[in-house]
Amino acid sequence: MSISSLEPILIQQPDRQEAIRCLLPPGSGRLQAARFERFATENRIGLDWIWAIRDDSGRIRCSTLCVPSPGRTVMVFMSPVTRQEDVPERAALVRHVLAELRAHPLDLAQVLLARQDDLACRAHLEGGFRELATLLYMERSLARHGSPPAAPDGVELVGWTPELEPALTEILEASYEDTLDCPGLCGLRRTEDIIAGHRATGRHNPAYWHLLRVDGRYAGAVLVNPGSTRDTVELVYLGLAPFARGRGLGRFLLDHVFATLAGGHWGRMTLAVDTLNRPAIRLYEQCGFRGSAHRLALIHSLRDS
């Protein structure tokens, strides 16, 4: 069967389990697919957008799951690519899916791959994605207790309320200037959508969002959300405006967060950072974070022609 004869289709409910099996590691069966469906239902992961390619006998050869998120983004998950000859077929499926997604109110499609998964990377790149960054995932125990740090002169922390969204917008847009953390994302999404995405990461708790003011000017933000497991919190965002950098305020914000979480039931904090952002990685290591895994992040702008 030639690549030109492939016709990706949107999977309907009767064929969903077969399509899900194709998304899972080779050798997975109905039991694993059923568990995945239950997990998706329990975690409110939509399974309506699954596209697949069938062979001449009607059997599903490969599939792609697209999960939209608040903030006009969508995560894309594809069947494992285990053979070189599978790459053109997977790339064709990706191209079709991206074309379908452009009909929806979405700005950005994203993929996270194991860094060593060269075949999957090639299939996505040939399908229209581009490489954004290699992400380093880090974590830190929260077992250590600490006292809240004293604020430097002219510095104050402001707890989050919805009325502060314009201030957070101002902070985020300033923090993107000369950023070293995934600079390829700059300009691809509206700031209000970025905030919506931050709010939807994990389980938003406004008590763990703080804005920083320096001499009366909004200068930075630290956004932490409870994670998907009961004892984990995630550092969703830490950023400073250019005029506030180089003054130890990033460390001040993190120490404040650690003190806020001390004494609770939280066991660890996790984060993801661009491996090229060496100043941030040094800060996190100084604060006790250690690397746990790497992922390759790929993106495709759905607003491009």
Location of each CATH 3.40.630.30 domain in the chain: 3-128, 139-294
Closest CA to 94 of 81, 107, 83: 81
SS3 287: coil
Would you write out the chain's pLDDT as a tens digit for each of its 305 residues? 444 446 899 999 889 999 999 999 988 888 998 898 888 888 788 899 999 999 888 899 999 999 999 999 999 999 999 999 999 999 999 999 999 999 999 999 999 999 999 999 999 999 999 999 999 999 999 887 677 888 899 999 999 999 999 999 999 999 999 999 999 999 999 999 999 999 999 889 999 999 999 999 999 999 999 987 788 999 999 999 999 999 999 999 999 999 988 877 889 999 999 999 999 999 999 999 999 999 999 999 998 64
Sole residue written with tokens 């510095």: 155
* pLDDT score of 126: 97
Gap between the Cα atoms of 272 and 54, Å rounded: 36
SS3 of residue 106 by DSSP: coil
Q: Which of 95, 14, 103, 101 is nearest to 60 (CA)?
A: 14
Q: Measure the CA–CA gap between 58 and 72, rounded to whole angstroms.
A: 34
Q: CATH number of the domain at 3-128, please?
A: 3.40.630.30
Q: Where are the beta strands (DSSP E) in the chain?
A: 9-10, 50-54, 60-69, 73-78, 108-114, 130-141, 155-159, 209-214, 217-226, 232-240, 268-274, 290-301
Cα 250 from Cα 261, distance rounded (Å): 17
Nearest to 60 by CA among 48, 72, 78, 45: 78
Rounded to 10°, the helix 278-286/249-261 angle is 40
Output the DSSP codes for 233-284.
EEEEEEEE-GGGTTSSHHHHHHHHHHHHHTTSS--EEEEEEETT-HHHHHHH
Strands 50-54 and 60-69 come out as antiparallel
DSSP letters for 160-183: --GGGHHHHHHHHHHHTTT--SSG
Residue 145: what pLDDT? 66
Q: Output b/e per residue, 46-58; b: 16+ Cβ within 10 A.
A: ebebbbbbbeeee
Please give the radius of gyration of the chain, using alpha carbons only, rounded to the nearest integer: 21
Q: Residue 55 has which token pair?
A: 């062979």
What is the CATH class of 139-294?
A: alpha beta
Model pLDDT, residue 1: 43
- Phi/psi of residue 103, nearest 5 degrees: -80, -5
Q: Cβ atoms within 10 A of the Cβ of 70, count? A: 13
Q: Which two tokens stand for residue 81?
A: 């690519």
* CA–CA distance, 32 with 49 (Å, rounded to integer): 19
Helix axes 191-200, 165-175, angle to 10 degrees: 100
Distance CA 177, CA 181 (A): 11
